Amino acid sequence: EEELLVVVADDDFQYLPTWLESLLAGHLLFPESAIALRGWRIREDLRYGAPSVGDLPHPDGVWGSFPAVERYVIRGTNIVEPYRVGVATGVNGILLRPSFFGSEIFDAPSPDHLSVDDIWYSGNLASKSIERWIVPFIGSGNRDRDVGNHLGQAQTVIDSKLKASNRARANQMAIEYFAEVWERGDGESLWWTKGSVPKLRGLLPFRHWFSEHIILWLYSFRWIRNLSGNWEFNY
């Protein structure tokens, strides 16, 4: 008997018509993997998030003084070929087989680990060598190049339940919990690196170059940094 599939979705997100079709198309390519439309690779130092521009050297107005910080979070609307990740994020949807998980999915060391579900279930999948893939979205996405529209709310229910100081800290705890299982892949390191960015669609390579060079050059001016504060180049 063929196993049913489970699709995870956010209840505060209005998805575009080709959203489910995109996930199913990815499943046909990788039937034994988790399929998603948004995700990111784990950093080798196990820190959560992309390197902060504020951590880089601060010369004033010198071209190239801020090394480019590549795109960290990858969306299916921005890529032309599948991209393997460490963490698949549920906000844009994930397609899974129920058999991917056992009772250990509920065996967390603290409620905070369960509350950051993207990392928790991705780590459990990694422990079983089940790959997570971001696949291209069928269509162009909305005007923000996303798979739908977030309905928006000031704070989620999960945020109010977190025992750690904040969500970022809980994410960090969960990443470190699975330190021994984040896989490297066959012949290719799956750690996030500057060169691990996939091929982008259409005009995105130019936009990517602009954001990683012109904007960073502007940010090298101290007076701009003082006005704008610290930036995180997460996309």
The verdict on residue 65 lying in a domain is no
For the chain, the domain total comes to 1
Global pTM?
Answer: 0.75
Residue 67: predicted pLDDT: 42
Residue 214 lies in a domain: no
141 within domain boundaries: yes
Kindly state whether residue 183 falls inside one of the protein's structural domains.
yes
Radius of gyration (C-alpha) of the chain in whole angstroms? 18
pLDDT reported for residue 151: 74
Q: How far lies 21's CA from each of 29, 69, 79, 129, 147, in Å?
A: 13, 32, 16, 25, 12
pLDDT in tens, 119-155: 999 999 999 999 999 999 998 776 556 788 877 654 5
Range of the domain at 171: 6-53+70-200
Q: Is residue 61 part of a domain?
A: no
Residue 220, in any domain of the structure = no
Residue 230 has pLDDT above 60, yes or no: no
Taking residue 135's Cβ as centre, other Cβ atoms within 10 Å add up to 24
Residue 223 lies in a domain: no
Residue 113: CB partners within 8 Å, gap ≥ 6? 120, 170, 173, 174, 177
More confident call, 34 vs 105: 34
Q: Higher-confidence residue: 24 or 45?
A: 24
113 phi-psi bin (left φ>0, alpha ψ -120 to 50, beta other):
alpha
Strands (DSSP E) contained in the chain are: 6-8, 13-15, 34-36, 38-40, 74-75, 83-85, 87-88, 94-96, 132-134, 148-150
- Residue-wise pLDDT tens digits, 63-118: 444 443 345 788 898 888 999 999 999 989 999 999 999 998 888 888 888 888 89
Whether 234 maps to a domain, the answer reads no
Query: For residues 155, 159, 164 and 170, what is the CA-based torsion angle, rounded to 10 degrees?
Result: -110
